[in-house]
Structure 1
Amino acid sequence: MQPKWLEWAKELQAIAQAGLTYSKDVYDLERFEQIRELSVEIMHEHTMVDKQMIKDLFTNETGYATPKVDIRAVIFRENKILMVKEKADGQWSLPGGWGDIGLTPSEVAVKEVKEESGFDVKATKIIAVFDKIRHPHPPSPYHVYKLFIQCEIIGGQATEGMETNAVAFFAENELPPLSVERNTESQIQLAFKHLHNPQEPVYFD
């Protein structure tokens, strides 16, 4: 679970972002800027990250604040799950990434699998919609929904990508060190439930 200070900072940022988007009164706009500055101060005090960097991270979003969407592809072969090794942290994750404007969730899953693993796949069903703050991920400045979409390999071959340097399949009891920013052990275990029981209901939250 995320710490309270991070929860407060993100909520203050969301309030400020909405206020700066919809308010017309010059004094209200000033107050919302102050609220944004408070959220930056909270983040800075607890992380010691440069204030300008935090502000740039927050202020690159405009309009009404909504969660970001991260899409992960769940692919099984011979009772093992496909994972890729992330160059960013040297750990393993399901292929995936941020949702793209103009693409459906399943199209993003197919694209990310091809780019990160080399396999051609088709999306078959959604197995979970996770709220990141409800799961044991590291703290994040964004509120994120994570969509896990099961896919089936239809072609291609294992190939490293721009962001990945290894591709492999792992058994349920032989998982590699996980990139917990991207996926957790409990989430991978839930994915295996759908392998063992195709009628397993979609998980949400």
Structure 2
Amino acid sequence: MIDRRTALAGVAGMFGAALYAPIARAAGLAQQPAAGIPPISEGPPSAPVFTPAQRALMTALSERVLPTTDTPGAIAADVPAFIEKLLADWARPEDRAPIIAGLDAIEARCLQDYKVAGARATAAQHDALLTLAMNDGLPSGGAFFTAFRQLVITGYYTSEIGITQEREYLPVPGEYNGAFPYSQVNKVYSS
């Protein structure tokens, strides 16, 4: 079975030069493991990164980026724990700043517009707030959205659920068939 560190190295190419710094650092270590540094998926974060309200909002927003459909979503794949672990153990304080500022801006806007805490907002309200952030309509919105989306996608597609249920894991792909009908392709394979 593929481990999270190896999968992380593969995901890094998906974002190219705009890769969020903690993911890039972790992916670089996947290629050259350093002695004594635990894999990202092991153990709790070395220190809490979020307040309880920020953690709850981050969890709700991660599920909006990759919601549960016919496959499990971000929460089921334990993406919020991955994000906090990555930010606690692989990010510098300046790397955390856009995530914390973005969560705080979304919380403030949610209270202003909807009169509810961010974690209690509806899915449609979360979508509107994420769209506002994506379009840089909030302070630090664009920087937050780009980094947050990368964290969610990386956390999901390096999780066991992302690798085995969203995609189909084949350590050694089957035989080559150049005439395989596209209509019969069910899942994208990762190896």
TM above 0.5: no
Highest CA radius of gyration, 1 or 2? 1
TM-score for the superposition, normalised by structure 2: 0.24
